[in-house]
């Protein structure tokens, strides 16, 4: 039985990588990942064959991982954050599905044993760094319209507004996409107050981390890049200050019972 | 400076607890948690004072943790899953907020230094165990109407349906609440197909784990208890079978480009 691990390495801090991820990597001979991610992992990657592909080559990376595993090499496909959330895991299953439908010509992929190892996603790291922003019902929306029609994304933004969900935006901006985050802001402003707390978390839990707490009306694409998590509170999210410390949390409503 | 850690211990498997959580517990003299959670953690808890309170005493538990930390004891308040997601973290900040507003009489709480340590939530463990159910935009909804009016929950269920979000239900059922999950099913059936894949994940990643993959029309409260995570796919989520293995994933749409 050949084996493919789909492994999460969390938001950045090595202390937030689950032991299961490190152990699984230890069993592998071949790693498919950005070099950047491997630096976080340290010595467990020593002596293993490292396969990299240019940014944007997601399908190629998933194919390569399946091919390596099918050839008998115990292989890890590695993503930062949670590999199951806007990351590589779904691509591997999409390729398997194509094969099962006869739209690919790689029957050997079907013999690969797959294990997915979850991890801490950026929204969780961001929420924790400033308090408990995800304390009540929330959603995630990717603002990338490369694969999803903008019409679908816009519909979800309105649903998020109507449902008053806390929302975390993944892929808020790239070099080629700069207007989506401002449009998302304008849609949400139809549903919740201008002073709704917003988190801009850049390079969360890494050495060059920066955290900005602002308000929905001041959210602007100029302050966001592809390394930024943007989370917007719901209509009840509170931004509190205690001396020089500040916190953002979304209440579940216990204070009504206090 | 007195210190309070708000610590996540993940879905159950000790190998899915972040090292940061274990290290933070190691620094503490006092632990506030269900005994159940401490069993997962093992020897790091040895020799520490363990404070327990009956199930349902959430506010009491948050107060106790703040009191202990304010008295100079380095304290951990511990939740399974992610303490920031439908768990204890938001209560601590809600109490601090009450104090800042003068609605509590515990100024000593304001001197406590707080650090939140995120963790892997049940929805992530469930998604990973069966593939990549959270591969595209998703939301979470708590079905407990103890603190949130049912009217708000119902509005969110409709928004989830209109936005075609994958959804994970937390607190789907308790001994006293048995009808909410079936009502949620009926609302979602207005928006997505009867054969939409559904995960019932009970005691995820623990020794007595059980995983059931079913369809939305067959989702029934009789198969759900307070230890069950219920995740419902969106209209594009796929359930595929490869020999005796089965997977559920939500595509991002790469296959349109293959």
Closest CA to A123 of A256, A248, A15: A248
Q: What is the pLDDT of residue B257?
A: 66
State the Cα–Cα distance between residues B128 and A121, nearest whole angstrom: 13
Q: Would you say residue A119 has pLDDT above 70? A: yes
Among B residues 194-233, those touching chain A with beta carbons less than 8 Å apart:
none
State the Cα–Cα distance between residues B54 and B67, nearest whole angstrom: 18
- Nearest-CB residue to A165 (from B14, B133, B156): B156
CB contact under 8 A, A253 and B141: no
Residue B90 sits at the chain A interface (C-beta within 8 Å): yes
> pLDDT per residue over B107-122, tens digit each?
999 999 999 999 999 9
CB contact under 8 A, A20 and B20: no
Among A residues 132-161, those touching chain B with beta carbons less than 8 Å apart:
132-142, 147-148, 152, 155-156, 158-160
What whole-number percentage of chain B has pLDDT above 90? 87
Q: How many domains does chain B have?
A: 2
- Our CA-based measurement puts residue A47 at a distance from the nearest CA of chain B, in whole angstroms, of 24
Closest CA in chain A for residue B247: A93
Among B residues 68-87, those touching chain A with beta carbons less than 8 Å apart:
82, 84-86
Q: Would you say residue A258 has pLDDT above 70? A: no
- Nearest-CB residue to B255 (from A94, A110, A132): A94
- Domain span at residue A156 reads 123-257
Q: What is the pLDDT of residue A43?
A: 86
Closest CA to B132 of A122, A93, A33: A93
* Residue B191 shares a structural domain with residue B239: yes
* Residue A189 shares a structural domain with residue A213: yes
Our CA dihedral for B17, B23, B27, B31, rounded to 10 degrees, sits at 0
User: Who has greater pLDDT, B178 or A257?
Assistant: B178
- Our CA-based measurement puts residue A50 at a distance from the nearest CA of chain B, in whole angstroms, of 24
User: Residue A201 pairs with which residues in a beta bridge?
Assistant: A211, A229
Residue B124 sits at the chain A interface (C-beta within 8 Å): yes
Q: What is the pLDDT of residue A84?
A: 98
* Residue A112 shares a structural domain with residue A133: no
* Residue A90 shares a structural domain with residue A159: no
Query: Which of residues A105, A120, A135 is at a domain's end?
Result: A120
Q: Would you say residue B258 has pLDDT above 70? A: no
Q: Would you say residue A138 has pLDDT above 70? A: yes
* Residue B138 shares a structural domain with residue B242: yes
The answer to whether the beta carbons of residues B4 and B65 sit under 8 Å apart is: yes
CB contact under 8 A, A155 and B137: no
Chain B residues close to A243, C-beta within 8 Å: 110
CB contact under 8 A, B135 and A257: no
Q: What is the pLDDT of residue A254?
A: 77
Residue B94 sits at the chain A interface (C-beta within 8 Å): yes
* Residue B87 shares a structural domain with residue B137: no
User: Who has greater pLDDT, A211 or B258?
Assistant: A211
- Edge-to-edge order in the sheet of strand A238-242: A131-132, A245-249, A238-242
Chain B residues close to A58, C-beta within 8 Å: 254
Q: Would you say residue B206 has pLDDT above 90? A: yes
Average pLDDT value over all residues in chain B: 95
Closest CA in chain A for residue B243: A110
CB contact under 8 A, A119 and B124: yes
Q: What is the pLDDT of residue A137?
A: 98
User: Residue A238 pairs with which residues in a beta bridge?
Assistant: A249
Average pLDDT value over all residues in chain A: 94
* Residue A73 shares a structural domain with residue A137: no
State the Cα–Cα distance between residues A142 and A60, nearest whole angstrom: 21
Q: Would you say residue A133 has pLDDT above 90? A: yes
> What is the CATH classification number for the domain harbouring B35?
3.40.1010.10
Residue B167: in which H helix or E strand, if any?
A: strand B166-170
> pLDDT per residue over A194-239, tens digit each?
999 999 999 999 999 999 999 999 999 999 999 999 999 999 999 9
Closest CA in chain A for residue B84: A132
State the Cα–Cα distance between residues A167 and A188, nearest whole angstrom: 10
Q: What is the pLDDT of residue A257?
A: 66
* Residue A151 shares a structural domain with residue A38: no
* Residue B128 shares a structural domain with residue B250: yes
Q: What is the pLDDT of residue A62?
A: 96
Q: Report the DSSP pairing between strands A112-117 and A2-8.
A: parallel
Closest CA in chain B for residue A141: B137
- Which of A113-137 are b and which e, b meaning 16 or more Cβ less than 10 Å from the residue's Cβ? ebebbbbbbbbbbbbbbbbbbbbbb
Residue A58 sits at the chain B interface (C-beta within 8 Å): yes
Q: What is the pLDDT of residue B256?
A: 72
Band (A52; pLDDT cuts 50, 70, 90): confident
> pLDDT per residue over A172-198, tens digit each?
999 889 999 999 999 999 999 999 999
- Our CA-based measurement puts residue A240 at a distance from the nearest CA of chain B, in whole angstroms, of 7
Chain B residues close to A16, C-beta within 8 Å: 18-20, 118
CB contact under 8 A, A19 and B20: no
* Residue A113 shares a structural domain with residue A127: no
CB contact under 8 A, B165 and A139: yes
Q: Where are any strands of DSSP class E within A80-143?
A: 112-117, 131-132, 138-142
Q: How many CB pairs under 8 A join A and B?
A: 267
> pLDDT per residue over B57-80, tens digit each?
889 999 999 999 999 999 999 999
> pLDDT per residue over B144-191, tens digit each?
998 899 999 999 999 999 999 999 999 999 988 999 999 999 999 999
* Residue B176 shares a structural domain with residue B127: yes
CB contact under 8 A, B15 and A19: yes
Closest CA in chain A for residue B13: A20
Query: Which of residues B120, B144, B175 is at a domain's end?
Result: B120
* Residue B167 shares a structural domain with residue B245: yes
Query: Which of residues B91, B120, B149 is at a domain's end?
Result: B120
């Amino acid at each position: 039985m050949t084996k493919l691990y789909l492994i999460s390495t969390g938001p950045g801090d090595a202390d937030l990588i689950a032991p299961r991820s490190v152990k699984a990597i230890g069993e592998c001979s071949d790693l498919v990942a950005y070099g950047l991610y491997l630096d976080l992992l340290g010595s467990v990657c020593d002596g293993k064959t490292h396969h990299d592909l240019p940014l944007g080559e997601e399908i190629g990376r998933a194919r390569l991982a399946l091919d390596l595993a099918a050839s008998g090499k115990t292989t890890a496909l590695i993503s930062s954050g949670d590999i199951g959330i806007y990351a590589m895991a779904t691509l591997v299953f999409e390729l398997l599905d194509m094969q099962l439908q006869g739209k690919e010509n790689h029957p050997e992929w079907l013999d690969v044993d797959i294990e997915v190892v979850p991890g801490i996603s950026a929204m969780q790291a961001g929420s924790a760094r400033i308090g408990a922003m995800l304390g009540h019902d929330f959603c995630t929306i990717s603002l990338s319209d490369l694969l999803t029609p903008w019409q679908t994304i816009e519909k979800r933004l309105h649903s998020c507004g109507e449902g008053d969900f806390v929302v975390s935006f993944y892929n808020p901006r790239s070099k080629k996409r700069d207007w989506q985050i401002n449009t998302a802001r304008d849609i949400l402003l139809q549903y919740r107050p201008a002073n709704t707390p917003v988190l801009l978390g850049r390079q969360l839990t890494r050495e060059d981390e920066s955290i900005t707490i602002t308000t929905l009306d001041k959210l602007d694409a100029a302050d966001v890049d592809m390394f930024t998590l943007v989370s917007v509170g719901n209509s009840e999210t509170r931004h509190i200050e205690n001396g020089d410390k500040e916190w953002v949390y979304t209440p579940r409503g216990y204070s009504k019972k206090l």
